[in-house]
Amino acid sequence: MSGQGPAVNKGMSTILVCQESYACGGSDEAVFECDECGSLQCARCELELHRQERMRNHDRVRVASGHVPFCDSCKGDGSCSGRLRAVVRCQGCKINLCLDCQKRTHGGVNKRKHPLVSYPPAKAPQENSVSAGESEMEILKSKLEKVRSFLLVDEKEEMQVKDEEDFVSRLGCSPDELLKVVSIFGNTGEGKSYTLNHTFFLGREVFKTSPTQESCTVGVWAAMDPLHRLVVIDTEGLLGAGANQGQRTRLLLKVLAISDVVIYRTHADRLHDDLFKFLGDASDAYLKHFTRELKATTNRCGLDVPLSTLGPAVIIFHETVHTNLLGSDAPSESAERLIQERFRKLGLFPEAFSSIQYRGTRTYNPPTDFSGLLRSLEQQLDNNTTRSPRSASVIFKALQALSERFSGEIPDEHMTSNSFFPDEYFTCSSICLSCGSGCKRSMNHLKEGLDHEAKHRCRYSAQYDNRIYTCKACYERGKEVIVVPKTTASSDSPWFGLAIYAWSGYVIECPNCSVIYRSRQYWYGNQDPVETVVRTEIQHIWPGSDGFLKDNNNAAQRLLDGPAKAVTSCPCSCYVPKCHKCGEEFQPNDTKHHCRACGEGFCDACSSKTRPVPERGWGLAPVRVCDACFHNRGIPTELLDAALEEEGGTLIARKVGEAVQNTLGAVVGAIDIPLGLVKDAARPAYWVPDQDIHSCCECQREFSPRLSIHHCRACGQGVCDDCSQERRPVPSRGWDHPVRVCNGCNQKTGEL
């Protein structure tokens, strides 16, 4: 038995493994055989070795099925007749042997029992074997030569890709191709770009690297891996120097949200706490702010592939030089178990991530071995349990939706946390003007029609008068109806209501209960509305809002508007050359009069009559009219009926007469006051002052002496006449009858 040779298994197939270990660590399957190097080589080692000047012209052969490698023991020194092809592979020694080397090296007692696997008989070299191998190599190189990275999002969080088609075009993939996303994070200077280049692109500089102190990656860059068919994203390093650090950090979480696998790269002899804090804070922010937005994006965009609300898998790639890898000192404890224990000690719970895996490599001599990282990545990418591949358009839509929702400057003065991702990065930055409480809704929520929502209850501020009134009677019936103090009731005509306001004060009107309060309804003993007819609630005042108790002091503006509306057909005195009735031309010293009913100009003799003209806003007091209007027009019965109500016709008529006379007297007394001062005094509080208006808020035309400023009664902005032709009631501002509104407010549906 002792004279027998080693047993040879002829039924097993052999897998040829790379013999160089230059870029792969000796674990990848051989793809080429180089005769001058004298070794089998994987694709990465072959590319790295033969890009060197002295080795570029080496003859390589593509390893095909049934390929028989050279003997690893033939030295070409006379021990064998030249370098021979192997006939067996020793599974114990992991080497290939020709027949002579097998007898010479495995004839002893120690190696006689090594298992051997035989190769099929070596075939005669084909003429096109070298050319075929070179052809496939050229194809691989040509694919990599076409790969270019591009800026996806800049450091200000602005998308640099126009649309889905542009994104697909830059990646160089098919619109229907299903892809996954791999991104990398880590501190600046840790070699993130270098890692991606050597893991996915065989060392080619797809992502820019630099030996300088400045960061070589600013913003977010993307490229397509043509071998694994996935989107690779390179990010800006943490702890770097630069402006807009809050926005740059928030951008990282957006990239994390669209990734399937995240690499956290660290080149330190020991794992630092900032790694665990970053991942822990990222997990909390992802669950708190991003899962809801990803669901909303799926529904809003109608995506065929739902966006996963469970976060990506994380691979911590740890490279050391002088220290052992995590877990090597305690073989009984897995590295992942130690990672979780470290999170627990720091009080962090990264629940958002589907998994956290540790992959370490110790580099005694460069270059770094990335083969283990690649194997871990391939395992994660093959797992579709929690993260499914999707088209490039879906990836783009998700990133675009997150960019639109979470964007804008981050106010440093309101920061309340030392977290990597504080709530202020993702929530509305508006602060209540009354109590200083912040809005807890997400950023840009107003675009979706969602109002501000505060974190705490508000307090009353006399400056903003932030109370809202609700009708007490309606509240007791289970309804909450907001009411506002205003000048007149909706049932009053403009001038008749103004006269009542001058006598009885402001009114509170409920759409269900009609008028529920007048401030001076009685001669004495008037009660506060809060004690009788309304409930109050303190509400927050947000920047840009108009408050809740709308300004009811528009009586002065109504007075200025009234006469102009009452005599809209009245021509200016300089354009009245003669009496409208008798035709007598006016002399420079003649007195001209205007009929309060028709607005035409008359001489004194042709306009000597007086009568009430309430339909023109002149109330029930007699005013000058021309002879024709005196005989042809009477007082509408509905106005007389409104005047002769409950308290007795004489009392109401006296009130209206006094009010109209007093208000008209106020106008006459203001004749000598500059018009600008009168307008400023009469202007409602929500109107933008004339001196602050430079152009029409609708058409942007600049105002000039020939282009007059008008105010929209709804929003208070300055508009030109062309952009404010429509008339609508604005009950929320106290205008119950049709008044001037801008085109923008007129297009709004519902009650203004």
Q: Angle at Cα 34 formed by Cα 32 and Cα 39, nearest 5°?
A: 90
Question: Is the CB of residue 738 less than 8 Å from the CB of residue 491?
Answer: no
**Residues 98 and 176 both lie in one domain:** no
Beta-ladder partners of 33: 40, 61
Beta-ladder partners of 315: 263, 357
Pair type for strands 482-483 and 150-153:
unpaired
**Residues 24 and 134 both lie in one domain:** yes
pLDDT digits (tens, 9 = 90+) for 178-217: 999 999 998 888 889 999 998 888 888 889 888 776 766 7
In a domain, 340, yes or no: no
pLDDT digits (tens, 9 = 90+) for 231-254: 999 998 776 656 667 778 888 888
The answer, yes or no, to whether residue 667 has pLDDT greater than 50, is no
Higher-pLDDT residue of 515 and 108 is 515
In a domain, 177, yes or no: yes
Q: Which residues of 160-174 are buried (b: 16+ CB within 10 A; e: fewer)?
A: ebeebeebbebbebe
In a domain, 505, yes or no: no
CATH code for position 281 = 3.40.50
The domain tally of the chain equals: 3
In a domain, 357, yes or no: no
**Residues 160 and 132 both lie in one domain:** no
In a domain, 312, yes or no: no
Residues 408, 413, 418, 420, Cα dihedral to 10°: 10
**Residues 710 and 692 both lie in one domain:** yes
**Residues 17 and 126 both lie in one domain:** yes
**What one-character DSSP code corresponds to residue 5?**
-
The answer, yes or no, to whether residue 680 has pLDDT greater than 60, is no
Of residues 127, 97, 131, 132, the one with CA closest to residue 114? 97
What pLDDT does residue 77 have?
Answer: 47
Task: Give kind and range of the element (H or E) at residue 344.
Answer: helix 335-345
Question: Is the CB of residue 273 less than 8 Å from the CB of residue 347?
Answer: no
The answer, yes or no, to whether residue 83 has pLDDT greater than 90, is no
Angle formed by the axes of helices 192-200 and 371-382, nearest 10° = 70
**Residues 195 and 113 both lie in one domain:** no
- Which residue is it, tokens 């007692």? 109
Question: What is the percentage of the chain residues whose pLDDT exceeds 70?
Answer: 73
Residue 267's domain comprises 147-307+375-405
User: Rounded distance, CA 326 to CA 338, Å?
Assistant: 8
**Is residue 469 classed as helix, strand or coil in its secondary structure?**
strand
Tell me which of 123, 139, 155 is where a domain ends. Answer: 139
**Residues 156 and 241 both lie in one domain:** yes
User: Rounded distance, CA 269 to CA 583, Å?
Assistant: 107
pLDDT band per the 50, 70, 90 thresholds, residue 491: low
**Residues 170 and 37 both lie in one domain:** no
Task: Give kind and range of the element (H or E) at residue 265.
Answer: strand 261-266
Q: Is the pTM higher than 0.75?
A: no
**Residues 94 and 159 both lie in one domain:** no
**Residues 169 and 277 both lie in one domain:** yes
**Residues 253 and 274 both lie in one domain:** yes
The answer for residues whose C-beta is within 8 angstroms of residue 571's C-beta and 6 or more apart is 599, 600, 601
